[in-house]
Amino acid sequence: MAGKAITTLRDFPSVEELAQSKALADAVTLVPRPTAVQIVRDVVAEGKEKFRQDGKAVTVSSIEKLIARRIMAAAQLEISKVINATGIVVHTNLGRAPLSDTIFDAIKKTVTGYGNIEFELARGVRGKRGVACESYLALLSGAEAGTVVNNCAAGLFLALNTLANRRGVIISRGELVQIGGGFRIPDILRKSGGKLREVGSTNITTIADYEEAIDDNTGLILKVHKSNFVQAGFTEEVPLKDLVELGKKHNIPVFNDLGSGVFINTRELLGYAEPTVQQSVAAGADLTSFSGDKMLGGSQAGLLVGRADLINKIRKNPIFRTMRVDKITFSIMEKMLTIYLNSTHTEDIALWRILSIPEAALYKRGKSILAALGNPSGLAIEATRVYIGGGALPQSEIPSVAVTFATDQKPNELLRRFREYTPPIIGRIENDRFLLDLKAVEESDLEIVTEAIRSVIT
């Protein structure tokens, strides 16, 4: 049937014939059968419509190939393993920070079957979810209390809605940032019910600007860390501790949104000191929010720490239930916070293990790849620079090493071919050359990368 020419509408095979054909036997198993059948139906309908318009003969095999490509494209929409050779370590499009095997192995027994997510084993009564996680969060941050919602934007919205609904929220114009996916702080603020009160200018905001904006309807002073961009030159912003003093003077809470958030000093490892959660708490911020899946290396979550009375108000907000997390997220957060409390993050958090790999080790890995390939011409190992990504530490460039390609194949073609490999390997093009950066490639995946290069260049 495959080579049969289709010269009339009657020659088109039926949907069921194609779905059961030997040529598509492997393809149809890649997706649920109803999805595969629908793709077959769509391709046949499109083929018939095109035939009505131009009358050109086609073959059954050409239709089968088109169906196979469509099914493959549909299968690639499912979440699957990819190898990150882009040089962006916390890659938003690739799941942000990689979840470590240490955490995943630890939670296997807590997320399958039943669990005590809302049950007090000591008393045998209904309990609150996330008690251990929230206590670890408070202990690690140095705050009175903490809580967890489904992402950082949700934490910001919930805090604003709880503490400043129909009341003024003072924020510097230089901190009205846009976060990932096109979401802007002013839009989130307005939807929360807060009334935006911009102060200062894009590059200069003083403590006097904040104080002049305070009135009887002011509910909150909001400070947003510019984690995904930098301002240079003639600039000035008010330190958090000064805003805290101002807030205490007028009995107004100060909310510090850190964006990514980090628990450790990053200067020695990354050459730049990102403000830590502990520093925000120590400076007196009444509330601090940050993400669980960027610089922390956990799963998607929004973490809030601060005064116990404010955290309790947030928990009692009816909207809180729409943003609460499940046993999987709480289990991941518990194990992640335990690792930080035990100071084993460079071994047990995948992100910090990756960032701690020395440049010399990356060179060794790169040379091993070329040696395994027989040191082919057109491939080389070169020093590169990578970034944290995920909207964090925009100025921090980290030394890395990449396999560079100077072959006859064009960079875009190489980019596509590695992307279509199984598992997909996502590289980058720099200065019109294709690169596979090794910084975020796990050591266990080096053999896969080697075989992929062999397949593509031969």
CATH of the domain at 439: 3.90.1150.180
Whether 43 and 184 share a structural domain:
no
pLDDT higher than threshold 60 for residue 1 = no
Q: d(Cα 137, Cα 305) in Å, to the nearest integer? A: 8
- Residue 439 φ/ψ, nearest 5 degrees: -60, -45
Whether 64 and 137 share a structural domain:
no
Q: CA separation (Å) from 432 to 400, 405, 413, 457?
A: 19, 10, 12, 18
Say what the pLDDT of residue 173 is.
92
Say what the pLDDT of residue 391 is.
63
Whether 364 and 329 share a structural domain:
no
* Range(s) of the domain holding residue 52: 5-75
Among 329, 348, 367, the domain boundary falls at 348
Residues 6+ apart with CB under 8 A from 253: 163, 219, 220, 221, 247, 286, 287, 307, 310
Say what the pLDDT of residue 185 is.
86
pLDDT tens-digit readout, 149-208: 999 999 999 999 999 999 999 999 988 887 766 678 889 999 999 999 999 988 899 999
Whether 55 and 105 share a structural domain:
no
- Average pLDDT of the chain, as a whole number: 93
Whether 406 and 283 share a structural domain:
no
Lowest-confidence segment of 105-114, 147-156, 219-228 by average pLDDT: 219-228
Task: Give how many domains the chain has, as a whole number.
Answer: 3
Whether 125 and 70 share a structural domain:
no
pLDDT higher than threshold 90 for residue 3 = no
Whether 118 and 91 share a structural domain:
no
Whether 111 and 39 share a structural domain:
no
Among 348, 369, 384, the domain boundary falls at 348
Whether 316 and 447 share a structural domain:
no
Mean pLDDT of 402-419: 95
How wide is the angle at C-alpha 309 spanned by C-alphas 248 and 274, nearest 5°?
65
Whether 201 and 165 share a structural domain:
yes
Termini Cα distance of the chain:
33
Question: What residue type is 84 in one-letter code?
Answer: N
Whether 336 and 288 share a structural domain:
yes
CATH of the domain at 245: 3.40.640.10
pLDDT tens-digit readout, 109-140: 889 999 999 999 999 999 999 999 999 999 99
Q: What is the value of pTM for the model shown?
A: 0.91
Percent share of the chain, pLDDT over 70: 96
pLDDT higher than threshold 80 for residue 328 = yes
Whether 44 and 111 share a structural domain:
no
